[in-house]
């Protein structure tokens, strides 16, 4: 039997079923233990995180007053670490050819009626121009797993193409990559291609369910998939993004697994996950969320987000357009720091609107607003939409990024960078209405830069963006 060991490189030892079962039992036994819950909340207030066991107790807690305390703390931690900034990104689907059999995804190999597409380099270029014209600077590329149609060389070629396109004032400054688990050698190649974060969703940490949900294809191998982040880090990728697909398994199991994975990365590599995504199962071509028994309602979803926020305060949290504007609004308050906007989840969807009979989308988008509408909405809610990609480009990745984060110094970069990149967006892409709101936000928020010197430089750069056509300043 596998023994729990966060430092082990074996999946079944660092994501250990026995430990998760014991954690859930401990959480159940203590869900009304208010003294312990208070102790955990006090620990969380130190803003250094809490363990998977402690987080599981909070998740099991049903005491309304304590829950409100947890929500308030999550909001406060969110504010302390991320201010009012929300980082913007968009997904770019390269290919939906896939050899895997994931039962929750319409790209599964047996789906014979979905339209299969793979972008040519010309098409990648056209998609990227469309994304740049919306104002995006940060992409997450997505592709199915298919060694013949989408080999690593194809992905690398696409990354090269994406970075090379300079259309008007546009540029994609950070390409995050969400592709199947692969070898150390391939991760090295991705690293050398200058990717930002490597993102791979675990889908579920429950091994037996995992194997049932992935009946065929290379993804069936639980250990290979679960150990992918270790290989990515061995290949030199500093920033990795975790996530589970909520709805596949019991959410309490998933939270414990997710946090154990984060603890494992910290124990072995000295740096936890750069981001955590929180997708929930959504309808798609031949996928009906009703077929899955473990769906979570909006309140449970909010609770999960709040608890992840206080468990790993330094980790960015991502929510996609799978969720409605209403759900996203609540999630933003409780901990989400990055959102997508104006997304298309089909291959080639930015150039050509998806036709019903031509469906190639991975999931249905709930939030169908344009990027301009999302940016305006964020500002109306009091947020600063940020198109910043500075850290990665200044070499602040992995432990260097985390060290800066933990010292609190990141605040002196993020805030001015958010304002400068927002100004670029307003000048180059925003509608007049959005621009008017944005200019007001920037003028007000400039006063909130603590260091006088930084404030003066940021104000000068913003004027230069506005009046002299200059771009790409960063701290």
Report if residue 219 touches ligand SF4, rule: CB under 6 A.
yes
Q: Which is nearer to ligand SF4, 100 or 343 (CB)?
A: 100
Among 417, 419, 434, 442, binds ligand SF4 (CB under 6 A): 417
> Is residue 412 within a helix (H) or strand (E), and if so which, with residue range?
helix 411-428
Question: Closest approach of Cβ 413 to ligand SF4, in Å?
Answer: 4
Among 413, 430, 449, 459, binds ligand SF4 (CB under 6 A): 413
Site for ligand SF4 in 78-97 (CB under 6 A): 87
Of 308, 294, 217, nearest in space to 261 by CA: 308
Residues in contact with 259: Cβ distance below 8 Å, sequence separation at least 6, in sequence order: 51, 52, 55, 308, 311, 312
Taking the C-alpha atoms of residue 474 and residue 366, their distance in angstroms, rounded to an integer, is 33
Q: For residue 371, give every residue at least 6 positions away whose Cβ sits within 8 Å of its Cβ, in sequence order, or none.
A: 88, 90, 134, 135, 136, 341, 342, 429
Cβ atoms 337, 86 nearer than 8 A: yes
Among 58, 262, 391, 465, binds ligand SF4 (CB under 6 A): 391
Beta carbons of 2 and 16 less than 8 angstroms apart: yes
Q: How far is the CB of 80 from ligand SF4 (least distance, A)?
A: 14
CA atoms within 13 A on the CB side of 422: 33
The answer to whether 361 and 346 are in contact (CB under 8 A) is: yes
Q: Closest distance between ligand SF4 and the C-beta of residue 258, in Å?
A: 18
Contact letters for ligand SF4, residues 5-24 (x by CB under 6 A): --------------------
For residue 375, what are its two tokens? 């940016």
For β-strands 240-243 and 338-340, DSSP reports them as unpaired
Least separation, in Å, of the C-beta of 98 and ligand SF4?
Answer: 3
Integer Rg of the chain from CA: 21
Q: Which of 388, 419, 420, 449 binds ligand SF4 (CB under 6 A)?
A: 388
Instruction: Kindly state whether residue 195 participates in binding ligand SF4, applying the rule CB under 6 A.
Output: no
For residue 354, what are its two tokens? Answer: 């998806």
Q: What is the token pair recorded at 103?
A: 């039962």
Tell me how many residues contact ligand SF4 (CB under 6 A). Answer: 20
**Segment lying near ligand SF4 (by CB under 6 A), choices 54-62, 151-159, 267-275, 389-397:** 389-397
The pair of three-digit structure tokens given for residue 56, joined into one six-digit string: 């599981």
144 binds ligand SF4 (CB under 6 A): yes
Q: Which residues contact 87 (CB under 8 A, 6 or more apart)?
A: 138, 316, 337, 338, 339, 386, 387, 388
Candidate list 386, 397, 434, 445; residue touching ligand SF4; CB under 6 A: 386
Q: Which two tokens stand for residue 404?
A: 């800066």
Nearer to ligand SF4, 106 or 170 (CB): 106
Residue 104 CB, shortest distance to ligand SF4, in Å, is: 7
Choosing from 145, 238, 249, 263, the residue that interacts with ligand SF4 (CB under 6 A) is 145
Beta carbon nearer to ligand SF4, 248 or 262: 248
Q: Which stretch binds ligand SF4 (CB under 6 A): 58-66, 99-107, 433-441, 457-465?
A: 99-107
Q: CB-wise, 102 or 311, nearer to ligand SF4?
A: 102
**Restricting to residues 231-290, which ones interact with ligand SF4 according to CB under 6 A?**
none
Q: Which of these segments, 17-25, 102-110, 232-240, 431-439, binds ligand SF4 (CB under 6 A)?
A: 102-110
Q: Which long-range contacts (CB under 8 A, 24 or more apart) does 433-436 make?
A: 433/376, 434/372, 434/375, 434/376, 434/379
Site string for ligand SF4, 104-123 (x = CB under 6 A): -x-xx---------------
Residues at the contact surface with ligand SF4, assessed by CB under 6 A: 87, 98, 100, 102, 105, 107-108, 144-145, 180, 219, 386, 388-391, 410, 413-414, 417
């Amino acid at each position: 039997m596998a023994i729990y060991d966060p430092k082990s490189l074996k999946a079944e030892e660092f994501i250990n079923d026995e430990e998760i079962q014991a954690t859930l039992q401990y959480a159940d036994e203590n869900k009304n233990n208010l003294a312990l819950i208070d102790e955990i909340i006090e620990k969380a207030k130190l803003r250094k995180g809490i363990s998977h066991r402690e987080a599981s107790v909070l998740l099991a807690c049903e005491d309304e007053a304590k829950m409100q305390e947890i929500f308030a703390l999550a909001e406060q931690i969110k504010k302390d670490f991320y201010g009012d900034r929300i980082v913007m990104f968009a997904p770019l689907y390269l290919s939906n050819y896939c050899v895997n059999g994931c039962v929750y995804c319409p790209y599964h190999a047996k789906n014979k009626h979905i339209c299969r597409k793979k972008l040519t380099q010309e098409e990648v270029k056209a998609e990227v121009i469309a994304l740049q014209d919306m104002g995006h600077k940060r992409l997450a590329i997505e592709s199915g797993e298919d060694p013949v149609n989408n080999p690593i060389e194809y992905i690398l070629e696409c990354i090269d193409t994406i970075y090379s396109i300079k259309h008007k004032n546009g540029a994609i400054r950070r390409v995050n990559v969400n592709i199947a688990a692969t070898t150390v050698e391939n991760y090295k190649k991705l690293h050398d291609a200058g990717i930002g974060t490597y993102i791979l969703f675990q889908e579920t940490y429950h091994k037996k369910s995992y194997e049932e949900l992935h009946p065929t294809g290379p993804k069936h191998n639980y250990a290979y998939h679960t150990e992918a982040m270790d290989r990515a880090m061995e290949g030199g990728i500093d920033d990795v993004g975790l996530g589970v697909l909520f709805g596949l398994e019991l959410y309490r199991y998933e939270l414990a697994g997710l946090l154990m994975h984060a603890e494992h990365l910290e124990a072995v590599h000295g740096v936890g996950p750069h981001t955590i995504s929180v997708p929930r199962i959504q309808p798609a071509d031949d996928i009906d969320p009703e077929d899955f028994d473990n769906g979570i309602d909006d309140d449970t979803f909010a609770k999960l987000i709040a608890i992840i926020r206080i468990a790993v305060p330094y980790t960015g949290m991502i929510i996609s357009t799978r969720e409605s504007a209403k759900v996203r609004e609540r999630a933003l308050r409780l901990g989400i720091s990055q959102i997508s906007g104006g997304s298309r989840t089909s291959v080639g969807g930015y150039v050509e609107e998806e036709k019903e009979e031509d469906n190639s989308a991975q999931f249905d988008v709930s939030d169908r607003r344009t990027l301009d509408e999302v940016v305006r909405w964020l500002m109306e809610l009091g947020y600063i939409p940020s198109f910043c990609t500075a850290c990665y480009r200044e070499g602040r990745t992995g432990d260097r990024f985390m060290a800066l984060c933990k010292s609190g110094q990141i605040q002196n970069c993020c805030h001015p960078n958010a304002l400068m990149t927002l100004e670029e967006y307003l000048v180059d892409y925003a509608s007049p209405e959005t621009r008017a709101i944005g200019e007001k936000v920037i003028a007000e928020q400039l006063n909130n830069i603590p260091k006088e010197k930084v404030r003066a430089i940021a104000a000068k750069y913003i004027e230069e963006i506005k009046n002299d056509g200059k771009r790409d300043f960063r701290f």
